[in-house]
């Protein structure tokens, strides 16, 4: 399988000294990688660096063979994302939010927009302004905005935030379908370990801006452990 | 679709989707209507126009350029930069196959297009109403001068747009940017009045550059000299604004 994302020695420090260092990992086609870590461990910093929202100090980010810093427009075409919180233009309708994004890509017509709205369960609200949406609906719209252009890699930062039990299950089904049937890769962070366990193939555990462990969910289960206990044991260990 | 064109359409759609922008546009156009009403009433009761009908488009332009249009520019430019950065909606544009330089440029183009549309609406509406309140031969006689003056008004406004976009890179809120720009816009002319030597280096001294075109004789030296200053300011603030925007952590 081809590598969709390759992160090499990523280094990003903020003025307060926090950030991430020496971050290296790869994601293959169709793979779902979970980022686990306590608050402030650097999950969002890694995701923002991969999407070009942060200027990285050192390191390389390669998306589908394109270096992010040297070939930004080609690299970012292969990527869709939802970072930190659902972001949409609240004074516009759901349809127009997707229409705005569609103009940046070739070949996205109104039928594709309708298809995406259908897949995230917002088809009947397509002409309603986003400011009237619930948090869960905004979250679903943001996911629609991330998958609209059929990217090869999707980055989701706390995607289940604001979703109810039913919405969380629907989201899980969408992710699993896209990864298994369409070979789309995912990088997902979530504080809901149960969700990570159900969705992800591999896991990176972060603490204080460093990767302290990488494992497969299957390996943890084979050892007879629960992912939550495994994670808690790992983050208790001291970082070098 | 060409990425610059796509970005410009998107940014323009954002501007016209906000009710407050359309209300301000309506208010600006109502100034034209009020001027025409003043003229018609004064003509009926005093027997003469308060405003020279042939010069009505210029009078309206002078009035709106004094504060109304600059404030409108501060509002929509800061909305597209400071406001989008503070509420993270800028991410919608930044994670697309478009460089930050192009995002910055498309925002400036869309504000410019919107302001040009306002000027065009003001010119057409004031030209039409001036025909109802004055001699048609005089109105047509001033048509070309008025048209040149309106076209010339675009350049200083583009300078204001680039300055506002630059200032928006430092401030975290849209309202903060508007307040800062309004204070600067009102204060700088006072400084140039108190210390005339500073006048030549202050961008606010060139906002009325278009007035050079509203006279029957044109001073080429002054126009060229001031033109160079305005273009210089556009280049400086555009370069600095792009530099800061490209290095900004979102």
Task: Kindly provide the ipTM of the predicted complex, given to two decimals.
Answer: 0.89
Nearest residue in chain B measured CA to CA from A84: B88
Using DSSP's 3-state secondary structure scheme, residue A9 falls into strand
Alpha helix stretches (DSSP H) within B142-249: 143-168, 174-194, 220-246
Dump pLDDT digits (tens) for A22-76: 999 999 999 999 999 988 899 999 999 999 999 987 899 999 999 999 999 999 9
Predicted pLDDT at A114 = 95
Using DSSP's 3-state secondary structure scheme, residue B124 falls into helix
Predicted pLDDT at A240 = 56
**Contact B92/A85, CB-based, under 8 Å?**
no
Closest in B6, B17, B247 to A103, CB measured: B6
Distance CA(B194)–CA(B191), nearest Å, equals 5
- Whether B6 and A149 have beta carbons less than 8 Å apart is answered as no
Nearest alpha carbon to residue B114 among B85, B73, B56, B71: B73
Nearest residue in chain A measured CA to CA from B20: A91
pTM to 2 decimal places: 0.91
* Min Cα–Cα distance to chain B from A86, Å: 9
* Min Cα–Cα distance to chain B from A159, Å: 16
Q: Tell me the residues of chain B between 14 and 33 that have a Cβ less than 8 Å away from chain A.
A: 14, 17-19
User: In sequence order, what are the residues at sequence separation of 6 or more whose Cβ sits closer than 8 angstroms to the Cβ of residue A232?
Assistant: none
- Whether B28 and B114 have beta carbons less than 8 Å apart is answered as no
**Contact A73/B7, CB-based, under 8 Å?**
no
Element (H, E) at A150: none
Say if B55 is an interface residue toward chain A (CB within 8 Å). Answer: no
User: Would you state the structure tokens that stand for residue B237, as one six-digit string?
Assistant: 């603030």
- Whether A234 and A212 have beta carbons less than 8 Å apart is answered as yes
Lowest-pLDDT range of A21-25, A132-136, A222-226:
A222-226
User: Would you state the structure tokens that stand for residue B162, as one six-digit string?
Assistant: 């680039």
User: CA angle A107-A113-B82, nearest 5°?
Assistant: 95
Dump pLDDT digits (tens) for B176-198: 999 999 999 999 999 988 988 88
Mutate: best of B4, B91, B98, B248, partner A, most A CBs <10 A = B91
Per-position DSSP letters for A176-227, written without gaps between them: HHHHHHS--EEEEE-S-HHHHHHH-SEEEEEETTEEEEEEEHHHHHHTT--H
Distance CA(A135)–CA(A101), nearest Å, equals 21
Using DSSP's 3-state secondary structure scheme, residue B95 falls into coil
**Contact B17/A89, CB-based, under 8 Å?**
yes
**Contact B97/A104, CB-based, under 8 Å?**
yes
Distance CA(A66)–CA(A153), nearest Å, equals 13
Q: What is the mean pLDDT of residues A171-183?
A: 86
Q: Please, what is the average pLDDT of chain A?
A: 90
Nearest alpha carbon to residue B92 among A16, A130, A187: A130
Per-position DSSP letters for B133-151, written without gaps between them: HS-HHHHHHTHHHHHHHHH
Predicted pLDDT at B7 = 95
Distance CA(A84)–CA(A71), nearest Å, equals 25
User: In 10 A of CB A173, how many CB atoms?
Assistant: 11
Q: Tell me the residues of chain B between 82 and 111 that have a Cβ less than 8 Å away from chain A.
A: 87-89, 91-92, 94-99
pLDDT in tens, chain B (250 residues): 689 999 999 999 999 999 999 998 888 889 888 887 887 787 777 777 777 777 889 999 999 999 899 999 999 999 999 999 999 999 999 999 999 999 999 999 999 999 999 999 999 998 988 887 777 888 788 889 999 999 999 999 999 999 999 999 999 899 999 999 999 999 999 998 898 888 888 999 999 999 988 877 788 899 999 999 999 999 999 999 999 999 999 8
Mutate: best of B12, B95, B246, partner A, most A CBs <10 A = B95
User: Would you state the structure tokens that stand for residue B160, as one six-digit string?
Assistant: 């204001």
**Contact B95/A53, CB-based, under 8 Å?**
yes
**Contact B89/A88, CB-based, under 8 Å?**
yes
Contact residues, chain B, for A72 at CB < 8 Å: 99
Nearest residue in chain A measured CA to CA from B83: A89
Query: How many Å separate Cα B53 from the centre of its chain?
Result: 24
Say if B71 is an interface residue toward chain A (CB within 8 Å). Answer: no
């Amino acid at each position: 399988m081809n590598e969709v994302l390759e992160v090499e020695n990523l280094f990003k420090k903020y003025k307060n000294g926090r950030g991430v260092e020496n971050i290296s990992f790869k994601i293959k086609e169709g793979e779902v990688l979970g980022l686990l870590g306590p608050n402030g461990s650097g999950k969002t910093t890694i995701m923002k660096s991969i999407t070009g929202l942060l200027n990285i100090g050192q390191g390389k980010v390669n998306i589908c063979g394109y270096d992010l810093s040297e070939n930004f427009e080609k690299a970012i075409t292969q990527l869709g994302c939802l970072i930190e919180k659902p972001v949409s233009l609240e004074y516009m309708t759901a349809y127009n939010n997707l229409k705005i994004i569609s103009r940046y890509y070739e070949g996205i017509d109104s039928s594709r927009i309708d298809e995406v709205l259908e897949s995230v369960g917002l088809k009947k609200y397509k002409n309603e302004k986003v400011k009237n949406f619930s948090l869960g609906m905004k979250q679903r719209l943001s996911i629609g905005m991330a998958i609209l252009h059929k990217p090869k890699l999707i980055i989701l930062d706390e995607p289940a935030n604001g979703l109810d039990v039913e919405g969380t299950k629907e989201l899980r089904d969408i992710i699993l379908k896209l990864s298994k049937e369409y070979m789309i890769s995912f990088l997902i962070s979530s504080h809901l370990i149960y969700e990570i366990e159900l969705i992800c193939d591999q896991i990176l555990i972060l603490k204080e801006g460093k990767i302290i462990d990488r494992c497969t969910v299957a390996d943890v289960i084979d050892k007879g452990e629960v992912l939550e206990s495994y994670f808690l044991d790992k983050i208790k260990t001291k970082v070098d | 679709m060409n990425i610059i064109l796509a970005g410009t359409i998107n940014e323009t759609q954002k501007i016209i989707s906000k009710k407050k922008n359309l209300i301000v546009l309506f208010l600006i156009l109502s100034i034209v209507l009020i001027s025409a009403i003043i003229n018609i009433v004064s003509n009926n009761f005093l027997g003469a126009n308060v405003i020279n009908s042939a010069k009505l488009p210029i009078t309206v332009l002078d009035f709106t350029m004094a504060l109304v249009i600059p404030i409108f520019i501060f509002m929509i430019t800061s909305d597209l930069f400071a406001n989008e950065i503070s509420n993270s909606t800028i991410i919608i544009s930044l994670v697309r196959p478009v460089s930050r330089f192009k995002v910055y440029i498309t925002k400036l183009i869309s504000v410019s297009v919107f302001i040009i549309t306002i000027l065009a609406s003001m010119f057409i509406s004031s030209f039409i109403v001036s025909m109802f309140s004055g001699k048609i031969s005089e109105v047509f006689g001033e048509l070309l001068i008025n048209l040149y003056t309106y076209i010339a008004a675009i350049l200083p406004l583009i300078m204001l747009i680039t300055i506002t976009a630059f200032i928006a890179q430092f401030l975290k809120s849209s309202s903060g940017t508007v307040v800062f720009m309004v204070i600067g816009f009102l204060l700088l002319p006072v400084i140039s009045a108190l210390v005339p030597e500073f006048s030549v280096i202050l961008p606010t001294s060139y906002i009325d550059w278009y007035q050079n075109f509203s006279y029957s004789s044109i001073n080429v030296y002054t126009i060229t000299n001031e033109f160079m200053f305005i273009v210089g300011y556009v280049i400086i603030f555009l370069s600095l604004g792009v530099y800061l925007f490209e290095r900004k952590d979102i």
